[in-house]
Structure 1
Amino acid sequence: MNKPIPRFQEILLLTGQLNYTWTNTESLLIYLIAGLAQVDKETAIVIFLTLNTTRARIELVERLTKLPKTPAERRREILAVTEKMTQEAKLRNKYSHCIYSFDGDGEAGSTQLMRIFDTKNEIRYGKIEEINGTEIKKIENCIENLIAINKQIWKLVKDYSYPC
């Protein structure tokens, strides 16, 4: 008889898969940069690695896409993909930049965000949220969405003959 996986291990596996899927998908921006900037893959890699945040990389792709030389249909397709990535980045960032807490059995879990919220008269930090079935489903959905985005980017690279 198989012993059920404690929630702690389940969350570690899911967040690992989330981060792997995100990183793999984000790296495909290299090919969009290469095609849109009309440079070779190695130059696109240098540009990609020089930009040290996801947001900067996505913004570069969006700005290159918005140049007049990008045909309107291609612009719509690429911007739709970057918009989806930006939406999925929210959950990925939450689980990549938090502290995890679990009870002694590794079952009841929560996250504590590593962010400061300033108001006029005070600061608040470390919003705590329970990791429950709903949150697990959000992570699973995010992974599925990232896989779909990954496939969309590969299709764009192929359809527009971008360097790869």
Structure 2
Amino acid sequence: MKRYQELLLLIGQLNYTWTNTESLLIYLIAGLANTDKETAIVIFLTLNTTRARIELVERLAKTSKTPASRRQEILAITQQLGRQVKLRNKYSHCIYSFDETGDQASTQLMAIFDSKDTIKYGKIEQIDDAEIVRINEVIEHIQRINREIWAMVDRYSFPR
């Protein structure tokens, strides 16, 4: 399989896995806010960024009504999500380039980096075997987070 095919399949899997796992925040919102799933869905969809959704879950977990052990468990999950979102964002918000054979791939980041008196943009990075391994590891980690959230939802009888 050519690198571009492998990469596109991996990025699709990364995005699917991330979206599926991020949507599980709905159940954490419902349980922590002591509301029903439908209301939690409205709250989730009203917040239009991953960061806002994770911050909401963290803030709800930090309220006095959340037992300390549950709070720590939920914060550990949201911290893990925060670490994994960086790679997902990189591959969701970049331009891909492939050579004519499809075997060499690179990304060009679509972000501006301001310094004191200059800007930089369009950082180009090669996608090598090590990066493919890293993407696979992130997918596996997100899948583990997914299972941990489901276990938590069941353990605390959060609305489903």
CA distance in 1, matches of 2:115, 2:83: 25
Aligned-pair identity in percent equals 68
Aligned match for 1:42, one of 22, 25, 38:
38
Query: Which residue of structure 1 lines up, in the alignment, with residue 127 of structure 2?
Result: 131
- TM-aligned CA deviation for residue 120 of structure 1: 1.2
| Separation in 2, partners of 1:122, 1:77 | 42
Structure 1 position 10, deviation (Å) = 0.3
Pairing partner for 2:151 from 148, 155, 161: 155
Q: 2:7 aligns with which of 5, 11, 22?
A: 11
Structure 1 equivalent of residue 108 of structure 2: 112
2:66 match: secondary structure: coil
Structure 2 residue runs without a partner (length 5+): none
Aligned length: 160
| Distance in 1, Cα, partners of 2:100 & 2:40 | 47
Structure 1 unmatched ranges of 5 or more = none
Q: Is residue 26 of structure 1 aligned with residue 22 of structure 2?
A: yes
Q: 2:97 aligns with which of 92, 95, 101?
A: 101
Question: TM-score by structure 1 length?
Answer: 0.97
Distance in 2 separating the partners of 1:121 and 1:34? 46
In structure 1, which of residues 64, 67, 87 is the aligned counterpart of residue 83 of structure 2? 87
Q: Look up the match of 1:65.
A: 61
Q: What letter matches 2:72 in structure 1? A: R
In structure 2, the residue matched to 1:140 is 136
Q: TM-score, normalised by structure 2?
A: 0.99
Runs of 4+ in 1 over 4 A off after TM superposition: none
- Alignment root-mean-square deviation, CA: 0.4
How far did residue 111 of structure 1 move?
0.3
